[in-house]
Structure formats: structure tokens, C-alpha cells
């Protein structure tokens, strides 16, 4: 059984996946996990492999959710993405990192795709 926070995250990821599909992305994986961490969504858009981090918020108190992908989180996603590329033999594939911000505030609800939100970050 999921707690409220986990349920909110799952629903937000489903909204993000539907929004990505409507915008021409093909979803390849959801909640891809390995020993290094997790990537919310792996998709393809116009021949580019896209690693997507979904961030959601219910209140404007903490600002737009898109700002919640910290440098530490970027490094973790990068390491998981590199592992994915290596194990799927796609190390030469064109790839990028997008963030989908799901804002479920009463005054300003919306879903925003931030393409190329950050560069490969490791070290």
C-alpha cells in the first residue's frame, strides 16, 4: 500500500507520461532502477533518447517544482543514465535530460516540459 506522498508521486508520473505522449514522446521505460538509482521515465523523441525526471508540487510555497532537480540529483540521474546506455549498448546514442514539472496548485495548475534541462553531470 502506498502512502499519500508515494501515491501523489505515482499520479504525477502518470500525468507526465501522458503529457509526454501527447507531445510526441514514445515511452520506453517507467521507473527504471539499477543499483545506482532510478530514472522516472526513459523515452524517445525524434530519434533522441530522453531521460526524464518528474517533479511535482501541490503548493506554491516551495516554488516551481522544476527547480527541485539539484546538482546532486543531476549527478545521480547522470550515473543511472550512463549505466542504462552501457547495459543496453547505446553508448553512441543521442541523449538528453528533460524535466517535467507537474504543478497541481489550485491557482496555477499545469505541466511543463523543460527540454535539455541539464547536461551530463558526474564526478
For 66-95, what is each residue's pLDDT tens digit? 778 999 999 999 999 999 999 999 999 999
Residue whose grid cell is 547505446: 90
Best CATH choice for the domain 4-118 from the list 1.10.10.10, 3.40.50.300, 2.30.30.170, 3.40.1350.10: 3.40.1350.10
pTM of the full predicted structure? Answer: 0.90
DSSP string across 73-118: HHHHHHHHHHHHHHHTT-TTS-EEEEEEEEE--SSS-EEEEEEEEE
For 3-60, what is each residue's pLDDT tens digit? 887 787 888 899 999 999 999 999 999 999 999 999 999 999 999 999 999 998 776 6
Distance of alpha carbon 100 from alpha carbon 104, whole angstroms: 13
Domain ranges in the chain? 4-118
Distance of alpha carbon 64 from alpha carbon 108, whole angstroms: 10
Cell output for 21? 505522449
Amino acid at each position: 500500500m502506498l502512502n499519500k506522498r508515494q501515491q501523489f508521486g505515482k499520479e504525477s508520473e502518470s500525468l507526465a507520461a501522458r503529457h509526454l505522449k501527447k507531445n510526441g514522446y514514445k515511452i520506453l521505460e517507467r521507473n527504471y532502477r539499477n543499483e545506482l538509482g532510478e530514472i522516472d521515465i526513459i523515452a524517445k523523441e525524434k530519434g533522441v533518447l530522453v531521460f526524464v525526471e518528474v517533479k511535482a508540487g501541490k503548493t506554491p510555497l516551495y516554488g516551481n517544482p522544476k527547480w527541485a532537480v539539484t546538482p546532486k540529483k543531476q549527478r545521480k540521474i547522470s550515473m543511472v543514465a550512463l549505466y542504462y546506455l552501457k547495459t543496453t549498448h547505446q553508448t553512441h546514442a543521442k541523449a538528453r535530460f528533460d524535466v517535467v514539472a507537474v504543478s497541481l496548485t489550485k491557482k496555477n495548475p499545469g505541466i511543463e516540459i523543460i527540454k535539455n534541462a541539464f547536461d551530463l553531470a558526474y564526478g
